[in-house]
Structure 1
């Protein structure tokens, strides 16, 4: 293609950008699941197979094939519009631009990652979470797999009270993005602790930093799991089951890293998602209902980490020896949740629905 032809192709033809269908977003989300599970398999291999010595592994094949699949699909959505005469930004569906731009960036970081591993070897410890090539991959991957969320954010058919089916692609995309964050903060991931490890850590504040590490991990994991939910609650009246779905996806990454040996703790978070869904039904939090939003943020965090410590204690057969820790930690979590709620929604939003109620 000549330079003149390329310029004609990228020049904006001026049409208003359109939204894709729910089916298209759903396919994007499902291919993003392939992409995300490929990363989970690779994370499991790096954590459990210390003899890795090459970039070319079945785990990388699962990961990069997922990238190829979801990238090809996104590019196809743009090409379909180009074939109808649209050019430039007019050819890119709403919500798909960031993902489209991230595709070549991800490929570039993938090439850098291959060179990095070839020259410096394969990381099998905490250093894997600070590799510049890995950080580039994870940021661009997040932009790609959250495409359905951006697509739904302003889609005219979603509305303030979407159904679970309509919001499913957005939920899946954001949930898998959350797992990426938890992966790169796994040195502070409370979901990787087993029941006995939790009880032992909160049983001794004199010997070693175990209690400090678990307390810090609970704070980090509280923010990582709750913040995406608060983002969605601020935007929509979430349908029942939304948080349960997100937490069920969220436990897959720590599960893969620990070979699911801490299954009771992982299942506890799924139950915590159900409790949060019940709180949403009861409190009806939204951007227009600041008090209910703040209450949900605090109560959801308090309930989640109360369940975490309760299930750990029941499974281990005893309570931690330091009562201040196992009684106070859920309160700290609730206060942090309340602070996040105030940060996400300092003032109630004036929505069309709220205006109609006042009128």
Structure 2
């Protein structure tokens, strides 16, 4: 009995160290790039599963090839982290701190993902396979979302806690995967998935709802993309091409869901435009005015490119007030988010 209690205390102590996320071993480039590759596999599996639900006949079972890609990705991440931790333990690292700083929570995320997967399977057996919006907001899937975010942000957390101002590419890709996790659960109203601006409504009673969904989709995507970029800028300087990579990879995943491949270049060009704005203004915590200006120009440019592409490929069904207003509100969202990312200096006491 005493032995069991001691083991329980050790396990609790190890769990606390993992949650504390302070490792005792350095992260090598090979380690971090391997984690990034495996996390990309995991996120790709999630989007493949979503694509299958959209384009294949109604799926009536939990056991599908798409789930296999998703859960094998999680298993690969967990296996790699576990093997690395065991090797470091054999070299004398402390239990719970045998991974580099930033990756303890990724292990916790893998465990939560496994628990969520079991709950998800039981949920499907009891309530059936969800479709459409219900599949995105079912409780097991929301648990998987939380776990997924914890897993893929390991490289970002690791870079955040290290010295240095320049963001490594592993952190940029990690932030891209975080953005893609958010947009995965927001796919029902994503501009690259549902092109509401081009929609032809045959029933007048539904016109206002499609317009509202379209404007809301642009607003939410602006907030998500700009929010992630500003979060990075609050800590790092970004290498040129970072936003192109971030917006481009996310655009590829989203555009592929509904096979809107013609809109994927919009995400890439929008990211490139934002990178050029960054190169011009050099925004950051020490250049607050430049940061606020970039937070306006970037979203305005991306929204304008998107609506221009819709006009050229499908035609915009909105009146000028709506499409022009959506561009203006994108800039306003970026400006307001910049105040959350970097606050004005606090007044000094007299």
TM-score (structure 2 length as normaliser): 0.89
Map residues 130-279 of structure 1 onto 2, 5 A cutoff: 130-156=137-163, 159-162=164-167, 167-194=168-195, 197-200=196-199, 207-258=207-258, 260=259, 262-279=260-277
Match of 2:110 in 1: 103
Map residues 4-43 of structure 1 onto 2, 5 A cutoff: 4=6, 17-43=24-50
Aligned length: 336
Distance (whole Å) between structure 1 residues aligned to residue 331 and residue 144 of structure 2: 33
Match of 1:331 among 303, 306, 328: 328
Task: After TM superposition, give the deviation of residue 208 of structure 1 in Å.
Answer: 4.1
Match of 1:86 in 2: 93
Change (3 A) 1:321 1:188: closer
What do residues 99-156 of structure 1 show as CA deviations (whole Å, max 9, x unaligned)?
Answer: 1112221111111111111121111221001111111011101101111111111223
For structure 1, list consecutive stretches of 5 or more residues without a partner in the other structure.
Answer: 350-359
Distance (whole Å) between structure 2 residues aligned to residue 336 and residue 185 of structure 1: 18
What do residues 16-66 of structure 1 show as CA deviations (whole Å, max 9, x unaligned)?
Answer: 723311221110000001111111111111122242111111111111110
For structure 2, list consecutive stretches of 5 or more residues without a partner in the other structure.
Answer: none
Change (3 A) 1:200 1:107: closer
Distance (whole Å) between structure 1 residues aligned to residue 199 and residue 40 of structure 2: 36
Distance (whole Å) between structure 2 residues aligned to residue 111 and residue 59 of structure 1: 16
Q: Does the aligned pair in 2 maintain the 1:279–1:300 contact within 8 Å? A: yes
Q: Does the aligned pair in 2 maintain the 1:42–1:60 contact within 8 Å? A: yes
What do residues 304-356 of structure 1 show as CA deviations (whole Å, max 9, x unaligned)?
Answer: 1011111111223x55451112222111100111011112111269xxxxxxx
Change (3 A) 1:199 1:58: closer
Q: Does the aligned pair in 2 maintain the 1:225–1:247 contact within 8 Å? A: yes
Distance (whole Å) between structure 1 residues aligned to residue 273 and residue 11 of structure 2: 51
Change (3 A) 1:205 1:59: same
Match of 1:354 in 2: none
Q: Does the aligned pair in 1 maintain the 2:23–2:101 contact within 8 Å? A: no
CA RMSD, aligned part only?
2.5
Q: Does the aligned pair in 2 maintain the 1:109–1:137 contact within 8 Å? A: yes
TM-score (structure 1 length as normaliser): 0.87
Distance (whole Å) between structure 1 residues aligned to residue 146 and residue 56 of structure 2: 25
Question: SS of 1:287's equivalent?
Answer: coil
Distance (whole Å) between structure 2 residues aligned to residue 115 and residue 200 of structure 1: 38
